[in-house]
Homo-oligomer: A and B are copies of this chain.
Amino acid sequence: MAFSKKPVTGMKDIQPAEMQIRDYLIALIKQTYKGYGFTPIETPCFESIGNLSGKQGGENEKLIFKVLKRGEKLNLADAKEENDVVDYGLRYDLTVPLSRFYANNQTTLPRPFKALQIGPVWRADRPQKGRFRQFYQCDIDILGDPSWLAEIELILATTAMLGKIGFTGFTVHINDRRVLKAMAAYAGFPADRYDEVFIILDKMDKIGLDGVRAELVENGFAQEAVDAYCGLFSDGLTIDTLSAKVDSREMAEAAASLSMITESVAQAQKTDCKLVFDPTLVRGMSYYTGTIFEITMEGFSGSVAGGGRYDEMIGRFTGQPTPAVGFSIGFERIVTILLDQGYQVPGAAEKVAFLVEKGMDASRLAEVMREAQAVRDNGATVLVSIMNKNKKFQKEQLTAEGYTDFREFYREALRN
């Protein structure tokens, strides 16, 4: 088969300039989150195909890259369907692997367990500009803590992280799946169609309240219910106003929790981020059970981070209920923003180029190498390179790579 120079469809080679930002960001994330007691873990990039097909993954389960069975296990001739010839799949998120990890290791893990995961995931999405089929996710999760302390820590840690990058003007949108459900119940929508309602509600920022109203009616929901529902949404709606109108146990619990979380974060946080109760916030994944949140940034569409509480998912692996809440920052999104901004990584080393004449003997070369080492010991990057015939062009190239200091070494050490 022919060699192909290009990366496979929808994936990309990462160039030195982008790698510098990624490495810096990963180090900053690890340092910051470790400060909050999060512990890095790593799972294999493969999961058994059964674990990836448990419905938690929603639409992502249609996008799995599947791994062919090997050796005697592969029987191509008798294969009827895909799952006859595959045993593993590449993970499409870090949440399914975390659940399995926790189930597998819970006897030795602390409780609550605060996990930090950074790594690639794969989705066979239709290739499109700016979206790739291999991309990094960066998740923090707290397992085994049913209290709002978990949400507060996640939000404080995430906003502190974004602040450290130098981001300003961000807003934490916060809601609760129980609020969504209580509002849908108040309107009188049938309980088995709540998810449909939420999918339409999720379009609010694109189609507005009138658009949501129209689409609900189009989808066959009763006019009366739609009117009651849409009547709840008004600008500046607070959780207190809402819970006064929608009087249910679920709403009361969610309101208490949201108030506690937003007040504590507002008073404790050190960044300038705003906290906003957003009853239109849905978050796609159906596994969320409580608080949900998302962070937006002024001047940028979409969100830069998102997460929520998912108290029922881990239990499906472990067999015993395990409260869980997670926050994921949009790693690739942030890298793109920083690249577009021409972000300069702070504390980058001074870059010194040693240009060495050809034909040096071993002693003279060792002398140069020792000098290079001494400069490195002072924290600089030292590139030792053979001096080209066209020294001017060589220096121009090195300047483009960030080298600012050039030193020339000849076969005979020159006395200055």
**A: which residues have CB within 8 A of B?**
1-8, 11-16, 19-20, 22-23, 27, 30, 34-37, 39-51, 53-54, 65-68, 70, 74, 76, 79-82, 85-88, 90, 100-101, 103-105, 108, 110-112, 114, 120, 122, 124, 134, 145, 147, 149, 152-153, 156, 160, 259-260, 263-268, 270, 316-317, 349, 351, 356, 358, 362-363, 365-367, 369-370, 373, 376, 380-386, 397-398, 401
Interface core residue of A67, A120, A349 (most chain B CB under 10 Å): A67
Say whether B81 contacts A8, CB under 8 Å: no
Say whether B3 contacts A36, CB under 8 Å: no
Also in contact, A149 and B50, with CB within 8 A (given A14-B42, A104-B5, A316-B3):
no
Task: Find A37's partner among B14, B90, B103, B381 (CB 8 Å cutoff).
Answer: B381
Say whether B39 contacts A19, CB under 8 Å: yes
Task: Find A381's partner among B4, B35, B67, B76 (CB 8 Å cutoff).
Answer: B35
Least Cβ distance of A354 to chain B in Å?
9
Say whether B44 contacts A13, CB under 8 Å: yes
Also in contact, A41 and B14, with CB within 8 A (given A53-B1, A100-B5):
yes
Task: Find A264's partner among B4, B13, B260, B366 (CB 8 Å cutoff).
Answer: B366
Say whether A380 contacts B35, CB under 8 Å: yes
Task: Find A385's partner among B74, B81, B112, B265 (CB 8 Å cutoff).
Answer: B112
With the chains together, A39 CA to B124 CA distance in Å? 30
Say whether A40 contacts B23, CB under 8 Å: yes
Task: Find A397's partner among B5, B110, B398 (CB 8 Å cutoff).
Answer: B110
Query: Within 8 Å CB of A79, what residues of B?
Result: 76, 79
Task: Find A8's partner among B46, B147, B153 (CB 8 Å cutoff).
Answer: B46
Least Cβ distance of A22 to chain B in Å?
8
Least Cβ distance of A51 to chain B in Å?
6
With the chains together, A6 CA to B47 CA distance in Å? 9
Say whether A3 contacts B114, CB under 8 Å: no
Task: Find A13's partner among B2, B41, B259, B349 (CB 8 Å cutoff).
Answer: B41
Task: Find A317's partner among B3, B20, B103, B382 (CB 8 Å cutoff).
Answer: B3
With the chains together, A175 CA to B317 CA distance in Å? 53
Also in contact, A268 and B36, with CB within 8 A (given A67-B68, A110-B397):
no
Also in contact, A43 and B67, with CB within 8 A (given A48-B8, A267-B366):
no
Query: Within 8 Å CB of A401, what residues of B?
Result: 110
Q: List 23 A-B contacts (CB under 8 A).
A: A3-B316, A4-B100, A7-B44, A7-B100, A15-B105, A15-B108, A19-B40, A19-B42, A27-B27, A45-B120, A45-B134, A67-B90, A74-B82, A76-B81, A152-B365, A153-B384, A160-B373, A263-B366, A264-B362, A266-B366, A267-B366, A267-B370, A268-B365
With the chains together, A47 CA to B19 CA distance in Å? 20
